[in-house]
């Protein structure tokens, strides 16, 4: 049987709709992919209070990473006069795609980049079965009787 040509198996590209126009973003080079992975990891470390890899950040600062991840769509977007927020969102979506996968990139794109819209809300968790009203077996009935006040205990012990 043998291996088929990988290029025929993988049609890795994103099509991002901006202003009614679809922009096709091809898969990045291995170099851009590796740098993107390192940048995303450095950002996650910094977000968790750690120290980001300064060499990775310096390498990214020397390049226009948005242009790298958007490929030919970058020049097309500039020529069409897309806004800065649109260009930034498109580039960050591509970074999510490169670092994770297409599904994560779609979620990011459709959330508008808002982290609050990325996390499922309570209603969605209920629909998905994430929330449960079943009581923990160790919890008993879920109610308890408050202890009697100290002065009531003392009255019960007195003899008349």
For residue 8, report the phi and psi dihedrals to the nearest 5 degrees: -80, -25
How far apart, in whole angstroms, are the C-alpha atoms of residue 88 and residue 94? 10
pLDDT digits (tens, 9 = 90+) for 103-146: 999 999 999 988 777 666 545 545 555 444 444 445 455 555 55
Q: In terms of DSSP H, where are the helices of 112-148?
A: 115-118, 122-128
In the DSSP assignment, the letter for residue 112 is T
Helices 84-99 + 102-111 axis angle, to 10: 150
Higher pLDDT, 151 or 106: 106
pTM of the model: 0.65
Asked if residue 86 has pLDDT above 80, the reply is yes
What pLDDT is attached to residue 132? 47
pLDDT digits (tens, 9 = 90+) for 24-68: 999 999 999 999 998 888 878 877 787 777 777 766 665 688 999
């Amino acid at each position: 049987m043998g291996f088929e040509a990988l290029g025929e198996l993988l049609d890795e590209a994103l099509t991002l709709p901006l202003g009614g126009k679809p922009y096709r973003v091809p898969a990045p080079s291995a170099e851009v992919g590796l740098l993107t992975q390192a940048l995303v990891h450095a950002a996650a470390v910094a977000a968790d209070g750690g120290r980001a890899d300064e060499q990775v950040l310096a390498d990214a600062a020397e390049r226009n990473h948005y242009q790298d991840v958007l490929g030919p769509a970058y020049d097309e977007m500039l020529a069409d006069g897309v806004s800065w927020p649109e260009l930034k969102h498109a580039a960050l979506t591509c970074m999510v795609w490169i670092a994770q996968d297409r599904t994560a990139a779609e979620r990011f794109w459709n959330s508008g980049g808002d982290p609050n819209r990325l996390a499922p809300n309570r209603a969605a968790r209920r629909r998905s079965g994430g929330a449960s009203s079943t009581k923990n077996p160790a919890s008993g009935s879920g109610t308890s009787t408050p202890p009697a006040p100290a002065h009531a205990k003392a009255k019960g012990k007195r003899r008349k």
